[in-house]
Amino acid sequence: MITEQRTAPSQQPSKCQVFGRAGSGEVGFSRETVEQLIATGEFFWLDLYRPDEADFEILRDVFRFHPLAVEDSEHFDQRAKIDDYDDFVFIVLYGASPDSDRLVEVHCFYSARFLVTVHRDHCPTFAELRRRYEPPLKPSLLLYRVTDGLVDSFFPILSAFDDRIDELEDQIFEDVSDEQLQEIFRMKRLLVGMRKVLTPQRDAFAGLTGRMPELPGFDREDERYFRDIYDHLVRISDMIDSYRDLLSGAMDVYLSTVSNRTNAVMKQLTIIATVFLPLTFITGFFGQNFGWLTGHIGHWGAFVGLGLGTEVLALLLLVGFFMRRGWF
């Protein structure tokens, strides 16, 4: 089994945000701090940002989380899931950062006594939740707000996708360029990444139906709230599928436009080559060194009439034929 290389614990404790009845703010994440929070017996929310190896030891030894849950939390890029243990639930969630179009992975350890969130990337959703957090708050309702905030963070990005796809199609019709094709591929890759994490997340919340009261820290009333999150995930999944189809349509428009422009250029070149074809024949014919030609074209009138006149007549006939067929 491949394992991560262990590093020496940092001398300075990591910083974390703590929210509870006693107050809120940034504190050092240490064994003493966690033991004091647990000893109060009151519910608290602890948000741990960019944890190191020593922090996971605290989660394992002080919180007494199951080793499998802590091991999953140590290794990010996890599949979205909800695992229930004896006295807590381990949840892997994904949100989005609209400013930089990236995914944010959050690991949640939830029970009726605390909520511990762990993440490596900056999460704008949490900044807004911390600003509006007003204890006391029902523990399951806080988890709902955290989950709902992460899920709803996808909507601004997808809304911007809708507007940008319309703009891309208009730009393609006006002036097609390679940058538009590169942007289409970039947007499709981002949608594929969203779908990769949202599909298992949607399935995980779909599996909560009927079994919510069996999980630690939940009751039957909570099922209504988390059913709403499932509805949002279904909407987001449908939007991703729709925008993937729209991007495929935009790519087809791009390829059709490029193909039509190539056909127009080839048509113009073909017309030019066709115009010069009889002219080349006439000049080649008169270039033959036959006795009649050299004997009868001995002055300017014959040269203009037979040489230039036949070329102009052939050109006029071709132009008239092209205009009649609508090729000009």
Give the residue among 51, 4, 1, 44 at the shortest CA–CA distance from 30. 51
What percent of the chain has a predicted confidence (pLDDT) above 70?
84
pLDDT, tens only, 218-250: 888 888 889 999 999 999 999 999 998 888 888
Per-residue pLDDT, averaged over 270-292, amounts to 69
Q: By 3-state DSSP, what share of the chain in percent is helix, strand and coil, each rounded to 5?
A: 60, 15, 25
Q: Is the pLDDT of residue 261 over 50?
A: yes
252, 283: one domain: no
| Interatomic CA distance for residues 217 and 228, integer angstroms | 18
Q: Which of 236, 258, 280 is the last residue of a domain?
A: 258
Q: Which of 258, 288, 312 is the last residue of a domain?
A: 258
251, 306: one domain: no
Lowest mean pLDDT among 132-136, 200-204, 267-271, 287-291: 287-291
| Interatomic CA distance for residues 160 and 156, integer angstroms | 6
User: How would you class 114 by CB atoms within 10 Å of its CB: exposed for 0-12, middle for 13-18, buried for 19 or more?
Assistant: buried
Is 30 in contact with 58 (CB distance < 8 Å)? yes
| Interatomic CA distance for residues 51 and 66, integer angstroms | 18
The answer to whether residue 5 is domain-embedded is no
| pTM to 2 decimal places | 0.74
The answer to whether residue 207 is domain-embedded is yes
267 or 22: which leads in pLDDT: 267
320 or 230: which leads in pLDDT: 230
The answer to whether residue 4 is domain-embedded is no
How high is the pLDDT of residue 307? 65
| Interatomic CA distance for residues 204 and 201, integer angstroms | 5
The neighbour count for residue 45, using CB atoms within 10 Å, is 24
How high is the pLDDT of residue 316? 82
Per-residue pLDDT, averaged over 104-118, amounts to 93
300, 275: one domain: yes
Range of the domain at 317: 267-325
174, 76: one domain: yes
Collapsing DSSP to helix, strand or coil, 84 comes out as: strand
Sheet-wide strand order for 114-119: 23-29, 14-20, 44-49, 114-119, 102-110, 89-97, 81-84
151, 189: one domain: yes
139, 234: one domain: yes
Local confidence band at 214 (pLDDT 50, 70, 90 cut-offs): confident
Q: Is the pLDDT of residue 8 over 60?
A: no
Q: Is the pLDDT of residue 290 over 60?
A: no
Per-residue pLDDT, averaged over 99-125, amounts to 89
27, 101: one domain: yes
237, 280: one domain: no
User: How many separate domains does the chain show?
Assistant: 2
The answer to whether residue 2 is domain-embedded is no
pLDDT, tens only, 119-169: 998 888 888 887 776 767 788 999 999 999 999 999 988 888 888 888 888
Q: Is the pLDDT of residue 186 over 60?
A: yes
The answer to whether residue 63 is domain-embedded is yes
62, 165: one domain: yes
pLDDT, tens only, 38-73: 888 888 999 999 898 999 999 999 999 999 999 999
CATH of the domain at 206: 3.30.460.20
154, 230: one domain: yes
Is 46 in contact with 114 (CB distance < 8 Å)? yes
Give the residue among 193, 184, 225, 207 at the shortest CA–CA distance from 96. 193
151, 199: one domain: yes
245, 314: one domain: no
324 or 5: which leads in pLDDT: 324
Tokens of 304: 């203009």
How high is the pLDDT of residue 5? 34
Average pLDDT over the chain, rounded to an integer: 82
Q: Is the pLDDT of residue 11 over 70?
A: no
| Interatomic CA distance for residues 56 and 71, integer angstroms | 9
Give the residue among 153, 75, 143 at the shortest CA–CA distance from 112. 143
The answer to whether residue 228 is domain-embedded is yes
